Amino acid sequence: MAEYKRSSLIASAPSGYCPGCLHSLATRLISDVLDELGQAQNSLNVISVGCSALNIKYWGGDFLSVAHGRAPAAATGIKRVNPERLVFAYQGDGDLAAIGLAEIMSAANRGENFTVIFANNQTYGMTGGQMAPTTLEGQVTTTTVNGRDPSTTGYPLKMCELISTLKAPAYVARFALNSPKGINQARAGIKKAFQLQMQGKGFTFVELLTNCPTNWHLSPLKTLEYMDTNTIPYFTPGIYKDCEVDAE
Amino acid sequence: MGDKKFMKGNNAIAEAAVRAGCRFFAGYPITPQNEIPEYLSWRLPEVGGAFVQGESEVASINMVYGAAAMGTRALTSSSGPGISLKAEGISYLAAAALPAVIVNISRGGPGLGSIQPAQSDYLQATKALGHGGFHAMVFAPNSAQEAVDLVYNAWDYAERDRNPVFILMDGCLGNIMEEVDLPPMKELNDEDIPGWALTRRNDPERDWQLSLTPIYTEEMLEGLNAMAGEMYKSWETEDVKYEEFMLDDAEYVVVAYGIASRVSKEAILKLREQGYKVGLIRPITLFPFPKKVIHDLDYSKVKGIIDVEMTLPAQMHDDIALQVLERCPIYEYGRSGGCLLDDDGVYEALLDIVSGGENNG
Amino acid sequence: MIQINERLCKDCKYCVKFCPKQILETGSVRNSRGHFYPVVTDPEKCISCGICATVCPEGAIELPAKGDDLNG
């Protein structure tokens, strides 16, 4: 790295995220990529509900804050009337994979020309650590005190795998933010998704495996190890769909 | 500049919306309003607008939320059960101070109810379109022409107030065919987009952050709610609309809106022929409710108020009672569940009341 | 050479963990929000790889362009 300067798209004050929270890192990555693409002013962040809503105070670019799970619907309305803007929704796992499952799948299936950044930390962080649709089998949460039991709660939802079964999406990928390598891959993936959107290629989806030190009851450093041993083996990182590669 | 057409009420609403500058619609199929999305699915693209058939009522209202945030005149329509699902989104529109127009072509309720017409959503429309204690202006036309006129101006109110506007009709008005005189197309340019909108088309040079949110600090939210309360009060003095019909010498006053007012008028004319002094107050705005005209009736002459609605039990009763203040009896007549008010039924019910017969209540 | 904006640090220690030269360590002074923040133990050894900036959730570590002197 020859040079790194913090983006003006994030506030000069510290974020509202807990120490070591990778939401914060994801937000920073998006801001870096938008700067790099010269899209800082043209971008519009559709902010969802959950810890992601902390970006209302942290995000320095244009944004619309929307109802729980509805970001892909709101983004549809935005992009259909203002196609020239670079539009992205930033959603957590409860927001996207539980209450907003219809909205994300339908927007993806219509091939709406915007990007969804999906932060998957396997819990409802903001509300205090309840079971999310992505909570791992056996994972203890405040609503699965003996660990998630698939016989009554099902299995963790794999959104990249689901969305990549659809024909319309242009790019579907998952990255883990618990290592420098994963972070750099994620940055490249976000950049690619935004570029495809700018080319009008349709729906792009980037899942970022993140953490929740507070509700996992682990130190930030321990969460990175936990992700290596628990999260990543189940939620396999990789490119699930790429219209440029698939077209070859 | 007349442009007369013979149109179904639903289609007339859709065309009026286009001419009002509406360039975005999202909705979900539900009877008896399907002609609105069907018409706009081909009409909006003709004028450079966008139509989306949403995956749900919930998604549709949130698509409208997104489009409205960009300063685009946006519309959605539904019927009772669908409006219940949209309640969350309507509340968010009010919270984020976004203008949009929502049409309810109502049907029998509660629950799935019936697909036949009913005026079963008065309380929902006027008291609680969603959680949190907000209001929208509610217009209740009683003809295709009046629907055209109200829809044509609805976004002007919505943008003035930065608040959603609600059009409450029923399946009868949505589906009857009538002659309408369509107004000219409003040509809106990028410069007409409100300054708060998140588009940058109206001012590409602007270099500061644009944002809209329904989330505030406690103190801000309290302040905004208090301001909204002041706005609702101002509607009562500035924006109340109603029609008076044969009211001057009336000893019995029918209060009815929408389709019920049309059927009531027929009955009143017939009763007048027989010498009964009956008149009508027809609320056109249900919120703000035309309180003053009812309050200021000369109760030394008025012997009774008759609330006629196509729903049971009557939903407007309490709003009327708060103005009558027990100065005369309030009678009710209605049909419900998709059973329609008809000329004979209303005439006989009114005759029974005004002739001093049995109290029907 | 990196610049640490101590005001933004929340003491997650990611930079300390991933520094390939192991020249970052948590200092003994707290910032205005009560967090200990990292210090560079051996500035001579910094190779300006930027990994610390990459892993910092808060963007508290910047890597100035060459010639953009710290004291300049």
Q: What's the start-to-end Cα distance of chain B, in Å?
A: 48
Q: Is pLDDT at C31 greater than 50 in this prediction?
A: yes
- Distance to chain C for A171, nearest Cα, Å: 24
pLDDT recorded at residue B359: 43
Domain boundaries, chain C: 3-62
To the nearest whole percent, how much of chain B has pLDDT over 70? Answer: 98
CATH class in words for C3-62 = alpha beta
Confidence band, pLDDT 50/70/90 cuts, at residue B1: low
Pairing status of strand C36-40 against strand B330-334: unpaired
B55: distance to nearest CA of chain A, Å? 6
- For residues B50 and B167, membership in a common domain is answered with yes
Nearest CB to C8 within list A1, A14, A22: A14
Q: Which residue reads 């008025």 in tokens?
A: B302
Do B102 and A111 touch, CB atoms closer than 8 A? Answer: no
Distance from C-alpha of B344 to C-alpha of B105, rounded to nearest angstrom: 25
Q: Which of B188, B220, B238 is the last residue of a domain?
A: B238
Same-domain check for residues B253 and B233: no
String of DSSP letters for C20-41: TT--EEEEEEE-TTS-EEEEES
Which chain B residues touch A if contact means CB-CB below 8 Å?
Answer: 23-24, 26, 50, 52, 54-56, 58-60, 62-70, 72, 74, 88-89, 92, 96, 198-201, 207, 209-215
| Residue B314 and residue B264 in one domain | yes
Residue A214, token pair as written in the block: 């507070």
Phi, psi of B352 (to 5 degrees): -60, -40
Specify the amino acid at residue B301: K
- What CATH number is given to the structural domain containing B182? 3.40.50.970
Chain A positions touching C57 (Cβ under 8 A) are 15, 17, 20-25, 28
Go through A73-93 and write b for each residue having 16 or more CB atoms within 10 A of its CB, e for each that does not: bbbbbbbbbbeebbbbbbbbb
Note whether B44 and B10 are same-domain residues. yes
Domains in chain A: ranges and CATH: 22-246 (3.40.50.970)
Alpha-helical runs (H) found in chain B: 9-19, 35-46, 57-69, 80-95, 122-127, 144-161, 171-175, 218-238, 258-273, 291-295, 317-324, 343-354
Which chains sit next to B, with 3 or more Cβ pairs under 8 A? A
Q: Could you give the 3-state DSSP secondary structure of residue A242?
A: strand
Global pTM reads: 0.96
Residues B280 and B234 in one domain: no
Stretches where chain A sits below pLDDT 50 are: none
CA distance A82 to chain C (A): 31
Residue of chain A whose Cα is closest to the Cα of C17: A221
CB atoms within 10 A of CB B131: 12
The tens digit of pLDDT for each residue in A154-213 reads 999 999 999 999 999 999 999 999 999 999 999 999 999 999 999 999 999 999 999 999
> A68: left (phi > 0), else alpha (psi -120 to 50), else beta?
beta
The answer on B112 and B26 residing in a single domain is yes
- Cβ atoms within 10 Å, residue B154: 28
Size of the A and C interface in Cβ pairs below 8 Å:
80
Nearest neighbour of A62 by CB, restricted to B92, B209, B215: B209
- Per the CB < 8 A criterion, the answer to whether A64 and A74 are in contact is yes
Question: B280 and B203 in one domain?
Answer: no
Which distant-in-sequence residues (6+ apart) come within 8 Å of A199 by Cβ?
Answer: none
Residue B318 pLDDT:
98
B73 and B185 inside one domain: yes
Q: Which of B204, B223, B238 is the last residue of a domain?
A: B238
CB within 8 Å: A28 and C18: no
> B201 and B66, same structural domain?
yes
> Within this chain, do residues B207 and B298 fall inside the same structural domain, yes or no?
no
Which residues of A are less than 8 Å from C35 in CB distance? Answer: 19
- Asked if residue B122 lies in contact with residue B316, where contact means CB atoms within 8 angstroms, the answer is yes
pLDDT of res. C67: 60
Same structural domain, B262 and B334? yes
